[in-house]
Amino acid sequence: MNATVLLFFGYTTLATLFLGYRFWSSNNKTLKWFGMGLFLNGVAFAIWSTAVLQHSANLDTWVTAGSLFLALALVAFFKASANVFGENSTFFGLGVIYTIVLFVTRTFVYPSTPSFSPEGLLFFNVQPVVQAMYILAFVWAVFPVFNYMAEKVYQGTTGEIVRYGFIVVVMGSVLLIVSTDPALVNIAGWAIGLAYLSILLTAGKKVV
């Protein structure tokens, strides 16, 4: 069992859950919904971490369960971004519909075939159509919140660390989902880890 893989999943799970809880406890409605999304995303990572720890033969069930919580996280992210645009119900409604279509597509229409690499890495093996859908979902759901936090909540260097740190986390997470290149997955893992560390040391200390 690859200790580095276990360390990554453990660290990422704890960092996501902790930051999610911190933002969820905010009095700011946008940050509260964003924190809820982060926390649900942390639950998804916890499920995938369990699959990696057990090196489960029933990997598809574990990955699908984690993907369900990821879909719930996207709904919360869409709600956070809708608040950025003045509680835009149309934005939120379209986001929810898109998330449902995404989950149905990845589960039933173009199902993934997750597997472990010889190095112990978890490959999601997502189909190309679903890859594109995930990329669009993340950009659509969370980038407005990143800009809002950088421009309206935090100031100066902290704001930019939050904005670009979370962008790195999202880009790295997308690479983890779509890539089957061990080197690229390792790079994405390190990038996510460092980005989370920078956020934890700045915005994570004090949530508005």
Give the DSSP H/E element, type plus range, for residue 123: strand 122-123
Between CA 96 and CA 29 the distance in angstroms is 18
Nearest-10 crossing angle of helices 29-54, 3-24: 160
- Tell me the DSSP string of 63-112: HHHHHHHHHHHHHHHHHHHHHHTTS-HHHHHHHHHHHHHHHHIIIIIS--
In tens, the pLDDT along 32-45 reads 999 999 999 999 99
What is the mean pLDDT of each successive set of 10 residues along the chain, which is 208 residues long?
Answer: 82 95 94 97 95 89 97 98 94 98 97 89 93 95 96 90 96 90 90 94 75
User: The whole model's pTM is what?
Assistant: 0.94
Query: Can you give the C-alpha Rg of the chain in angstroms?
Result: 16
Amino acid of residue 141: A
Task: Give bridge partners of residue 122 from the DSSP assignment.
Answer: 116
> Of 43, 32, 15, nearest to 165 (Cα)?
15
Q: Is 75 left (phi over 0), alpha (psi -120 to 50) or beta?
A: alpha
